[in-house]
Amino acid sequence: MLKKTLLVNNYLRNSTRINRLNQEITRITGREPQVVRITEAPQVNSDEFDAVILSGGDAPLNQPEVVADYKKATDWLSRIQRPILGICLGHQLLGLAYEGRIARLGERFEGFYDVEVVEQDELFTGLPKRIRVYKSNVRVVARLMSGFKLLARSSEYEVESFRHLEKSVFGVQFHPENYTDTDRDGLKILENFFHTLN
C-alpha cells in the first residue's frame, strides 16, 4: 500500500502510548508514519501526505482555557483537504474544529464495549451492526456537528463515530489500534480507513 501518513501525537504526558498506533499504521501501510506533536502540526503541510491520523490524548477539551490553547490546531484541522481519522481525543479535536462541544462524562470508560453501527459506511465495511472496541475516555463529543453524519453510537453515549458529509473526515471515540485476538473489530476499522485512500 505504501501510503504516506502524518500521525499527530496528542499525548501530553506518556508519549509511549503512541507506539501501538504507530506500529499498526506501519503494518497496514508498509511505511512508517511521520510523527509530529499536536503543537507542531499546524506548521506541517498536510498536502504532502496521503492521510492524517490524530491519536488519542489526555487534554481536558471540555475546559474553555484548554480549548483556547488548541485553537491553532483546530483551525488547521478544519482546513485540511486530505483524509483524516481522529481517534478518541483526535475525534474530539475534529469535533472542536467543526464547531462541536466536548462534554465530561460522570464516569470513565476503560475496556472493551459494544458499539452499534447505525450507518453502513466504508469505515465499517465487512463488520456487523454490533462491534466490540476498546474505549479509554471520560470525555465525548456532546452532539453531532452540522455537516456530519452519525456512523456509530453506544449505550454509553451517542456520538461514537462520525463522518463529514463532503470530505473524508472520520472520527471514532474509541481506540481501534487496541484490539485482541478475540476482539479484532478495531483493526478492521483501521484497515478500512486506509483502503478508502485507494
Does residue 164 have an active-site annotation?
no
Residue entry with cell 452532539: 143
Task: Decide yes or no: CATH 3.10.129.10 for domain 5-195.
Answer: no
Average pLDDT over residues 175-197: 97
List 91, 99, 175, 195, catalytic entry? 175
Distance CA 30, CA 5 (A): 11
List 24, 91, 160, 177, catalytic entry? 177
Q: Is the pTM of this model over 0.85?
A: yes
The model's pLDDT over 85-96, given as tens digits with 9 standing for 90+, comes to 999 999 999 999
Tell me: pLDDT of 15 over 80.
no
Average pLDDT over residues 129-156: 98
Q: What is the pLDDT of residue 13?
A: 79
Does residue 88 have an active-site annotation?
yes
136: its cell numbers: 479509554
Name every residue whose Cβ is closer than 8 Å to that of residue 170 and which is 6 or more positions away in sequence.
83, 84, 85, 86, 123, 151, 161, 162, 163, 164, 193
Q: How far is CA 139 from the centre of its chain?
A: 13
Sheet holding 102-117, edge to edge: 34-37, 5-10, 51-57, 84-87, 169-172, 161-164, 148-153, 102-117, 130-141
Tell me: pLDDT of 158 over 90.
yes
Per-residue DSSP letter, 124:
G
Confidence of residue 166 (pLDDT cuts 50, 70, 90): very high
Contact, 38 vs 8, CB < 8 A? yes
Tell me: pLDDT of 80 over 90.
yes
List 24, 88, 91, 160, catalytic entry? 88
Does residue 32 have an active-site annotation?
no
Contact, 148 vs 155, CB < 8 A? no
Q: What is the pLDDT of residue 1?
A: 63
Tell me: pLDDT of 2 over 80.
no
